[in-house]
Structure formats: C-alpha cells, structure tokens
C-alpha cells in the first residue's frame, strides 16, 4: 500500500534527519567541553551534573527529543524499512557538520561511505512505504 506524499510528510522526514544530525553535533560539542568521561570508574553524580550544565549538551538532548517525536510520527504512517533509509540522510548532514562546523578531519574513506549511503537510500526508497500486514489487522481470539 502506498501513501500520498504530502509536503507535511516530507517535512517530518526532514525533521527526523535534521534533528538527529544537529542533536548529535551539539552533544559532541558539549562533551568536548566536559572532557573524557570514564564508565570504567563509574559515572559520578558530580560528573553527570557537570555534563548537564553544558548548554550544548542540553541543546543536543532537546534536539534528540525532537528527533524522537518526529521519528514516532513518521513510523505512524510508514514502515520502519522505509523511514530509516529515508531519514538516513542525517548521516550526510552529520558528516558535513563534523567537517565544517566541528572542524573534524573526515577521511576519503568516510566521504566514500557517505556517497554509498546516498546511493543506497535512493535505491531503497523506491519501494513501497507501507506494506499490508494481515497479522496486525486480525482481532485477537
């Protein structure tokens, strides 16, 4: 079963991709200000409070909450096998943010991986967005 592609649905898929990438970038920036955290020695309450006082970490958490809401919305009208590839463009956005906003080195191998993701997403999204599942529609005995 296919659904009608509307601007609102494109917006939801774009919101998933953007909020995931921006949220992860904010968390990365915030954690660089906090410094190394060792789970081997236990995450102390003081270290947790220091982490949660970082504005970039708070912004990242808020953006990832937005990602979660948009992801739930998308999954309400499309299959997981459609939503994840369609929103995996966030990997492309994340790589661009890492390179140009966070000034991280991105190797040629990673750039080739990004190109492979784009090609794969284009291939996978050509299929149906919602499959007909009789098991979910039958009432329980």
| Whether the Cβ atoms of residue 90 and residue 17 lie closer than 8 Å to each other | yes
Which DSSP state fits 41? S
Is 1 inside a domain boundary? Answer: no
Which pLDDT score is estimated for 111?
93
**85-131 residue pLDDT tens:** 878 889 899 999 999 999 999 999 999 999 998 888 878 767 666 66
Half-sphere exposure of residue 21: CA atoms within 13 angstroms, side-chain side: 21
Average pLDDT taken over every residue of the chain? 84
- 40 belongs to a structural domain: yes
pTM, two decimal places: 0.80
Q: Is residue 34 a contact partner of residue 54, using CB atoms and an 8 Å limit? A: yes
Q: Is the pLDDT of residue 132 over 70?
A: no
Express as a percent the part of the chain with pLDDT over 90.
46
Name the domain count of the chain. 1
Position 2 in a domain? no
What is the model's pLDDT at position 128? 64
pLDDT of residue 20: 95
Domain assignment present for residue 24? The answer is yes
Percent of the chain with pLDDT over 70: 82
Between 137 and 49, whose confidence is greater?
49
What domain range includes position 117?
7-137
């Amino acid at each position: 079963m296919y659904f009608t592609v509307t601007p609102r649905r494109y917006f939801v898929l774009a919101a998933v991709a953007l909020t995931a990438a921006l949220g992860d970038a904010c968390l990365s920036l915030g954690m660089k200000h906090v410094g190394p955290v060792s789970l081997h020695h236990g995450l102390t309450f003081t270290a947790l409070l220091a982490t949660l006082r970082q504005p970039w970490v708070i912004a990242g958490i808020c953006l990832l909450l937005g990602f979660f809401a948009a992801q739930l919305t998308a999954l309400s009208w499309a299959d997981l096998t459609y939503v994840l590839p369609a929103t995996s463009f966030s990997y492309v956005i994340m790589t661009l943010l890492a390179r140009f906003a966070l000034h991280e080195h991105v190797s040629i191998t990673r750039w080739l991986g990004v190109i492979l993701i784009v090609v794969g997403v284009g291939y996978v999204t050509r299929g149906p967005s919602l499959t007909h599942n009789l098991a979910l529609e039958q009432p329980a005995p």
